[in-house]
Structure 1
Amino acid sequence: MLKYEALLENLNEQIETILPRQIMDAGREDYGGFVSDGIAGATNVSAVSTLGYAYLLEGGRYYQSEEILARILAGAAFARKIRRESGCFDLITTNFDSSPDTGFLVEGLAPVVRAARKAKDDGAGQIAEVLGEIIQTAVPGMIAGGFHTPNHRWVLVAALSQALELFPDLDGMDTIESYLAETIDNNADGEYIERSAGTYNAICNRALRLASDALNRPQLLEPVRQNLDLSYHMLHADGTVVTSFSRRQDHGTRVVLVGMVDSYYNMARREENGFYAAVADWLYAISPGGLPWALEPFLTHPEWRVDNLEREPLPESYARVYPTAQLWRVRREKTSATAGAGITSPFGVKHGDVELASVNLCASYFSIAQFSGETFEEVDGKIRMTHISRSSDGGRPGYDLPLGREVAFEEFYNLRKERDVYALPPLTTVLEIEEVDSGFNLHVKSEGYDRVPFQIACDFVPGGELDFDSGIVRGQAAEVAFLKSGYATYHINNDAISIGPGAYAHRFWALRGSESAPTAFRVLMTFTTPVDHLLEIRCGTWSAAEEKLV
């Protein structure tokens, strides 16, 4: 169970890592700043919010600590010195005079100021005053400054709405309404635009629930519920989340979803939802972290520090189709699989410690035949996706024809759209996926033009061994093996995934037009079109005694 006392212990440990980073030499120009990568950057001021939790939360090692108070005041002084005239701060790695990054800072400071106002000691009063001044001064810059990415809108809404809750005389409601008028960017299945299961979904959920409370608009919680429900079903048995769909920097990364603990727990307590509470417990038990946000529900609602909410058992076996998001998730205890359209890794499966991160398909046809499902449908319990190899400008497959007039040096590419095209038929590839006992069958068909080199690539997370009829290969990053025939089993510890039967029609190690896999161990099966192949994937236990899947 997620316990307040255990979170405080982890907060104590985090404070121990923050203190050595703060400059406390009053003679230095950057006095009060927090050093990261050799410099006291402006947005590093966010560390004062963590110090604020440590000072305000009763039972912690640093509760009402004079040292922590002095460090908060020093950090606030540094913030006043380093902020821009607009009241905004720089994210010195990329964004300057940045309203969205200031929004992140204010969003984190506001719960501390709110809690400090309710505390009764003089130190808390000083914290509320100096951090509140940072919030007040930042509001005009956040109003004027705008944003870059979709999630920034809701961070700014959360920051501004909390600022107005704390300081009702401030302007900013018109800006909040302008952002909210765009409507929340979640679809019917609970996805946000960025599809960032590992990072930005958590940021959107947090921002929307904070804004909901500050504005007294409970309707803002509905997309949070939808995404929390979806997010659980995107988790593997080890708490890591599927990131192959992400449009952001978490794409393809291994992330335990601890950044969503605060929203799961907050929604659990406000709605007495034992399922959400159980998810929060589980994620935090796997990866204790996410501070200080994991403590925000307890800072804002001290009454929640006593927790008698009954937990619900978490489902470990399910199959779910999300038609709007065009994805399919299957979990059978330690086995979980994902299929989806619109990405070049249309299928992946994880079984315990072993992961087949991607099964991807490609032909060399004019370098436009890397499979990405353009359609997605459930047919008789199977998932079917189709890719038609045709370039977006319609010029491929085919060849440009001469214009019959002068083409100036600088005009060649601009005139391409005016040329007639000698067209060839597109290559049509269909992938049909079916769950079977202990695994999955993938039926691959590709036709439309003959004698085209084609491949099925099975990309495994490195670190295992691949056993096949007459050999063994270590699965190392950036290495490629061909499975000419029969079956092969990739295993780590006692967990194993078998693939096959293999096929061998060409020896292209890096098929032209195909995506490389520099961080994976790739097993290739090769063909020439037309292709009609049933790939069998099975999950189970590796028997070292019998050297096979059992």
Structure 2
Amino acid sequence: MTHGGRPAPPRLTYERLLRHLDDQVASILPNQIVDPDHPEHGGFVSAQEGMAGMGQIGCAQSLGTAWLLEGSRYHGDPALLDRLERSAAFCRAIRRPSGRYDLATTNWDCGPYTAFMVQAIAPVVAAARNSDQEGSDRVGEVYGEIIRTAVPGMATGGFHTPNHRWVLTSALSQALTLYPDLDVASVIESYLAETIDINPDGEYTERSTAVYNAICNRSLRLTAEHFDRPDLLDAVRLNLDAAYRLLHADGSVVTSLSNRQDHGQQIIPVSMVDSYYALARVDGNGFYAAVADWLGSHQRAAVPWSLEPYLSHPEWRIDDLDREPLPPTYTHHMPASGVWRSRQHDTSATAATGISTPFSVKHGDIEVGVKICATYFGRAQFRADRLEETEKGISLTFDGAGGWRDAPGYYHPVGRPVTMDEYAYVMRERDYTAYDRLSMTLDIGQVPGGFDLRLCTSEPFNNIPLEILFAFSPGGTLHTDSLVADGEAGHTAFLRSGTATYHQGADAILVGPGAHAHRMRQMRNSEPEPNAFRLLTMLRLPVDHTFHIRTGTWSEATEAIQIDGGDNA
């Protein structure tokens, strides 16, 4: 079977995940404070914090999972049991009177952080209760006490962000399974009554493809299981389906859409493995299983969470589910999200509304983002307002509106004293002379080997400078007919005419033709790109400019790109 046109990755197996877990536990143990006279005795010290801060239960989750699972080299290890008890004692010592815990990097006496902790350790407690291994009663007791004591604080502590709601429903539902006498069902129902924040395209509110999508999916599937709400799995399926269409050929995911800290990062979303695999087994879905195999072939497969399905469902440790091949080529329109995706084997492209990189292409190890900006009243950074499918591809439209005034212009005096404190408020009273907005369209057509793009602008005034910026991932080499330059982060080059090819190893992307109507290296109101190699094409309004992006293989022998599906450039 092939995977995205390549040989399929090895199956995600219980035994392989155990090896990753054992390696993880071996790396965790030296970081636990074992001196009984130390004030943080039993805590785990992280390299990032230099203190026994966040991550305590995550470490205990790894240790507890390894201690319980047959096949781990730590299975039933008395020394590991002692470490688990020390960790539990530290967690009891640092909790607040509310039963809640501090997220020392930002949030104190925090119900949602406590819910993350309960969510992680509850499967260990449940498995310990079902184990006849000596010491398992003790594991269930000491960590069960942490869960039970945390419940009132979680139920009354509130939340900050959209995903916190589902983490809380998950943790409270898991606690209710362990302790049926808890009076928290009404709290869970109150959160779930808000309905799940997912659009028809499968995007959650935070659009966090590399971090919080996984958290939402995990939380909803655990709530579905423990609170008898199988309907919640519909949202999980919707997101899992969408998530595959946002993956590049190397397994990394589109993060330019995210509203959270993963924005713009290059990340392989291995934290999605547990939900892909769990839904694969629940639904008998070979596609989900194949995605879990693929993501699970990276970065230790995100243990211990990737082992939670096997810990909670021992029968799944024997896996005879047939895998489905993953499609290597597709186009996918997400109209509710304003997103369009295309993948052709090792090349993928993303177009989107609402972001300052309206189009980007990733080919192998190279990524290039296309950004457009003009010097027009600070209102001409192209962020598409609409995305529409066309016969050849898509069309992005930028209306040029912005601010509380829809059009740019100038304010007039009010003829009375205006204090410093009043200035901002009085602006709304002033007469206003409005000018035409600068609107733009970017038509993108998919052609063999790449894309043709046509940029057209309105003309509120002539001679307005405009730039097309190709923001390349750094580390490659730029070639033109007369120039070879290193593509270093923060450096800038101008494409005055003709084409340029940027390559890293054998991966190559060609862009052009260029133009040279001005030379504003750092154009005012244009977003900086300090982490990219900048290649600029300079125009002045009115603009009707067609340019090309082609992908292919670099030849050092010919110093040229072999375009995918085409001839030499």
TM superposition score normalised by structure 1: 0.98
- The match for 1:7 among 10, 17, 34 is 17
The reply to whether residue 414 of structure 1 matches residue 431 of structure 2 is no
Structure 1 residue 409, shift from structure 2 partner = 2.6
Partner of 1:361: 372
Deviation at 1:287, TM superposition (A): 3.1
Measure, in 1, the Cα distance between the counterparts of 2:35 and 2:57. Answer: 16
Aligned identity (percent) is 52
Partner of 2:498: 486
> How far 1:172 moved relative to its partner?
1.3
Q: Does 1:384 align with 2:395?
A: yes
Contact 1:431 1:444 in 2 (8 A): yes
Kindly provide the amino acid, as one letter, of the partner of residue 28 in structure 1. H
1:439, 1:195 → 2: CA distance?
A: 27
Distance 2:191 2:535 in 1: 47
Are the aligned partners of 2:56 and 2:91 in contact in 1 as well (CA < 8 Å)?
no
- Residue 327 (structure 1) aligns with: 339
Per the alignment, residue 292 of structure 1 pairs with 304
Amino acid across the alignment from 1:27: D
Quick one: which of 154, 165, 174 aligns to 1:153? Answer: 165
SS of corresponding position for 2:439: strand
- Residue of structure 2 equivalent to 1:448: 459
1:33 equivalent in alignment to 2:43: yes
Structure 1 equivalent of residue 567 of structure 2: none
Q: How does 1:400-439 map to 2 (within 5 A)?
A: 400-439=411-450
The DSSP-based 3-state class of the residue aligned with 1:365 is coil
Separation in 2, partners of 1:448, 1:180: 50
Between 1:323-332 and 1:385-394, the stretch displaced more is 385-394
The runs of 5 or more residues in structure 2 that have no matched partner are 1-10, 563-569
Superposed CA offset, 1:25-50 (max 9, x none): 11222111111222112552331111
The answer to whether the 8 A contact 1:33-1:45 is kept is no
3-state SS of paired residue (2:397): strand
Summarize deviations over 1:455-499 as a string: whole Å, max 9, x none.
Answer: 100000001001011101110001111100000000011110000
Partner of 1:514: 526
Is the 2:34–2:42 Cα contact (8 Å) retained in structure 1?
Answer: yes
For 2:395 and 2:361, locate their aligned partners in 1 and report how far apart those are by CA, in whole Å. 17
Q: Distance in 2 between matches of 1:80 and 1:55?
A: 21
Pair 1:23 & 2:71 matched = no
2:281 matched residue in structure 1: 269
The 2-side partners of 1:185 and 1:14 are apart by 34
* Aligned residue in 1 for 2:8: none
Which digits, 9 at most, give the CA deviation of each residue in 1:344-363, with x for residues without a partner? 1111111112211x101101
Looking at structure 1, the residues matched to 28 and 38 of structure 2 have their Cα atoms a distance apart, in angstroms, of 19
Deviation readout 1:424-455 (Å, 9 max, x if unpaired): 10000111111111101111111132211101
Deviations 1:87-144 (A, max 9, x none): 0000101010000000100000111111111001231110011110000000111111
Kept in 2, the 8 Å contact 1:389–1:397? The answer is no
Give how far 1:395 is off: 6.6
How many corresponding residue pairs?
A: 549
Q: Equivalents in 2 of 1:138, 1:171: separation in Å?
A: 13
- What is the CA–CA distance in structure 2 between the aligned matches of 1:156 and 1:43, rounded to whole Å? 18
Pairwise mapping of residues 521-532 of structure 1 onto structure 2 (< 5 A)? Answer: 521-532=533-544
Alignment match, 1:231: 243
Give the secondary-structure state (helix, strand or coil) at the position aligned to 1:442: strand
For the pair 1:134 / 2:146, whether they are aligned, the reply is yes
| Native 8 Å contact 2:490 2:532 kept in 1 | yes
TM-score by length of 2: 0.95
RMSD over aligned CA atoms reads 1.0
1:88 corresponding residue in structure 2: 100
**Residue identity in the other structure for 1:444:** L
Residue 534 of structure 1 corresponds to which residue in structure 2?
Answer: 546
Does the 8 A contact of 2:56 with 2:87 survive in 1?
no
Amino acid aligned to 1:302 = P
Distance 2:206 2:195 in 1: 15
Conserved in 2, the CA contact under 8 Å of 1:42 and 1:89?
no
Amino acid in structure 2 at the alignment position of 1:429 = M
Tell me the distance in 2 between the aligned counterparts of 1:212 and 1:471.
59
Q: Report the Cα offset of residue 410 of structure 1.
A: 1.7
1:370 match: secondary structure: coil
Residue 507 of structure 2 is matched in structure 1 by 495
Aligned partner (choices 328, 339, 361) of residue 351 of structure 2: 339
**Is contact 2:57–2:121 with CA below 8 Å preserved after alignment?**
no
Shift of 1:396: 4.6
Matched with 2:224 is 212
Question: For the Cα contact (< 8 Å) 1:400–1:422, is it kept in 2?
Answer: yes
- Within the alignment, does 1:281 sit opposite 2:293 as a pair? yes
Contact 2:373 2:380 in 1 (8 A): yes
Q: What is the SS of the residue equivalent to 2:425?
A: coil
CA distance in structure 2 between the partners assigned to 1:233 and 1:206 by the alignment: 19
Q: Match for residue 97 of structure 1?
A: 109
Residue 474 of structure 2 corresponds to residue 462 of structure 1? yes
Greater mean alpha carbon deviation, residues 394-403 or residues 234-243: 394-403
Hey, what's the Cα distance between the residues in 2 that align with 1:105 and 1:207?
A: 12
Question: What is the rounded CA distance, in whole Å, between the counterparts of 1:160 and 1:395 in structure 2?
Answer: 47
Check conservation: 2:385, 2:396, Cα contact below 8 A.
yes
Tell me what 1:176 maps to: 188
Give the AA of the match of 1:250.
D
- Provide the residue aligned with 1:167 in structure 2: 179
Report the equivalent of 1:307. Answer: 319
Residues 138-164 of structure 1: CA deviation (Å, up to 9, x unaligned):
011111111111111100110001001
One of 188, 193, 199 as aligned partner of 2:200: 188
- Assess if the C-alpha contact under 8 Å between 1:43 and 1:90 holds in 2: no
| Residue of structure 1 equivalent to 2:405 | 394
Long gaps (5+) in structure 1? none
Q: Is the 8 A contact 1:43 1:102 kept in 2?
A: no
Bigger shift: residues 280-289 or 483-492: 280-289
In 2: Cα distance, 1:355 partner to 1:23 partner: 43
